[in-house]
Amino acid sequence: MTTETSPVAPDRIALDPFVTDLDGESARLRAAGPLAAVELPGGVPVWAVTHHAEARQLLTDPRLVKDINVWGAWRRGEIPPDWPLIGLANPGRSMLTVDGAEHRRMRTLVAQALTPRRVERMRERITKLTADLLDALPQGADAPEVVDLKAAFAYPLPMYVIADLMGIDEAQLPRLKELFEKFFSTQTPPEEVIATLTELAGIMAETVAAKRSAPGDDLTSALILASEDGDHLTDEEIVSTLQLMVAAGHETTISLIVNAVVNLSTHPEQRELVLAGAADWPSVIEETLRWSTPTSHVLIRFATEDVRVGDKVLPAGDALIVSYAAIGRDEKAHGPTAGDFDITRVPENRHISFGHGPHVCPGAALSRLEATVALPALYERFPELELAVPATELRNKPVVTQNDLFELPVRLGG
């Protein structure tokens, strides 16, 4: 074991809180080696795994845990409670923040609720929501020339789906949108951080209480009822799990749909392949997940002892993030064309953008299902859809964990 104080790395890369050049930043992280010293917004020093093989190894290494109390900086009081990313680093007790037997216990109970059958049952609802949202897009002679496809389609579809799945009152969605904007942003004022987390937890607790009183055919009710040898999730665990699944369940899918549209618009030869039937939509989705992964960096794991990664050491008590944006274009994993968007790469595509190992994303199947329904329906309705501005003018939101745009201005065509 090392001492509590970690050495200061002279080559530490500061992650841009405004995400003005994610591709360039990811390239610098890869070039720094499989283990890069980085600084999160707010001046918090951590390490990042940036190569595919090493990420797979570390994501299954039992010396890397999710317990924030292992983090030396946390124990020393160096991480303030109003740090903008505290809700991601310390999101409450759920399967995201425990390991070993406790993680297996909670994951088993969640799996009882989030079954493949339950996800597949959402297909009809996703198809109907997709059609309704496409019908509502402005069309005809009086329609505006430019439409924000994120606001009108890519955002509401996953949000309505996750609300349906979890049994959340749709009247809560506008406020949840505002709260999650603050939850993910690096620019949330310190005085609003704790209030945001408190209100989010309150809405989730209200949902759990309502479902205890009147269970429905939804995932929250199923989580309450899930049992393994008489064991149940506690209310605290259900609230944290609910918040985790709502947060990840809509943000990832929004970015997946948005990024796929951007990729096809900026690679017309690839779009022609899929529209002509020479490639399929799952190939578009998997290549989008690899090349422009919705999740840029995942916070956060902590080393219980020194861990050697290549020619560097991740010291005991230090924190590790997983830089999926960098990992997705690792040439050692994806060959010399890793920097190219190529939907014919699938099924050779071996990305890990939904994670790997015990903490792999439980909602991956739902996100893929939504994109598999939404994207072909969108392009069947609007095959001439194109960006209304150059791709270089698209603006990333100040969110270091998500590859997320403020808006997606398009011309629908036709």
- Is the bond into 300 cis (omega within 30 degrees of 0)? yes
Q: Which residue's structure tokens are 């080696």?
A: 33
The strand pair at 35-40 and 13-14 is best described as parallel
Query: What is residue 2's predicted lDDT score, i.e. its pLDDT?
Result: 37
Lowest-confidence pick of 189-203, 223-237, 309-323, 357-371: 223-237
Per-residue pLDDT of 40-73, as tens digits, reads: 999 999 999 999 999 999 999 999 999 999 999 9
- Higher-pLDDT residue of 93 and 200 is 200
Percent of the chain predicted with pLDDT > 70: 95
Per-residue pLDDT of 317-328, as tens digits, reads: 999 999 999 999
The length of the chain is: 414
Query: What is residue 113's predicted lDDT score, i.e. its pLDDT?
Result: 83
Residues 273, 252, 99, CA angle at the centre, nearest 5°?
125
Query: What is residue 167's predicted lDDT score, i.e. its pLDDT?
Result: 94
Q: What's the rounded mean pLDDT across residues 228-251?
A: 85
- CB burial string 79-118: b at 16+ within 10 A, e below: beebbbbbbbbbbbbbbbbbbeeebebbbebbeebbeeeb
Residues 397, 300, 108, CA angle at the centre, nearest 5°?
110
Per-residue pLDDT of 345-373, as tens digits, reads: 866 668 999 999 999 988 899 999 999 99
pTM for this predicted structure: 0.94
Per-residue pLDDT of 4-42, as tens digits, reads: 444 445 579 999 999 999 999 999 999 999 999 999 999
Query: What is residue 27's predicted lDDT score, i.e. its pLDDT?
Result: 98
Q: What's the rounded mean pLDDT across residues 275-304?
A: 96
Above 80 in pLDDT, residue 308? yes
Predicted confidence band at 3 (pLDDT cuts at 50, 70, 90)? very low
Structure tokens belonging to residue 298 = 């995942």
* C-alpha to C-alpha distance for 216 and 167, rounded to whole angstroms: 7
Q: Which residue's structure tokens are 């845990």?
A: 65
* C-alpha to C-alpha distance for 4 and 73, rounded to whole angstroms: 8
- Is the bond into 84 cis (omega within 30 degrees of 0)? no
Question: How far apart, in Å, are the Cα atoms of 25 and each of 296, 332, 338, 359?
Answer: 11, 18, 16, 26
Strand spans (E) along 245-373:
298-303, 307-309, 312-314, 319-322
Q: What's the rounded mean pLDDT across residues 322-338?
A: 96
Structure tokens belonging to residue 30 = 């890869």
* C-alpha to C-alpha distance for 379 and 206, rounded to whole angstroms: 39
* C-alpha to C-alpha distance for 111 and 120, rounded to whole angstroms: 14
Q: What's the rounded mean pLDDT across residues 148-160?
A: 97
H-type alpha helices, 214-234: 219-225
Above 70 in pLDDT, residue 412? yes
Above 80 in pLDDT, residue 166? yes
* C-alpha to C-alpha distance for 367 and 252, rounded to whole angstroms: 7
Residues β-bridged to residue 303 = 64
Predicted confidence band at 406 (pLDDT cuts at 50, 70, 90)? very high
Tally of CB atoms within 10 A around 201: 18
Per-residue pLDDT of 75-87, as tens digits, reads: 999 999 999 999 9
* C-alpha to C-alpha distance for 76 and 79, rounded to whole angstroms: 8
Above 70 in pLDDT, residue 203? yes
Got the DSSP string for 336-382?
Answer: TTTTS--GGGTTS----TT--GGG--TTHHHHHHHHHHHHHHHHHH-
Predicted confidence band at 232 (pLDDT cuts at 50, 70, 90)? confident
Query: What is residue 8's predicted lDDT score, i.e. its pLDDT?
Result: 43
Crossing angle of helices 281-291 and 235-266, in 10° steps, is: 100
Structure tokens belonging to residue 276 = 């002509």
* C-alpha to C-alpha distance for 328 and 296, rounded to whole angstroms: 10
Query: If you average pLDDT over every residue of the chain, what do you get?
Result: 92
Above 80 in pLDDT, residue 141? no
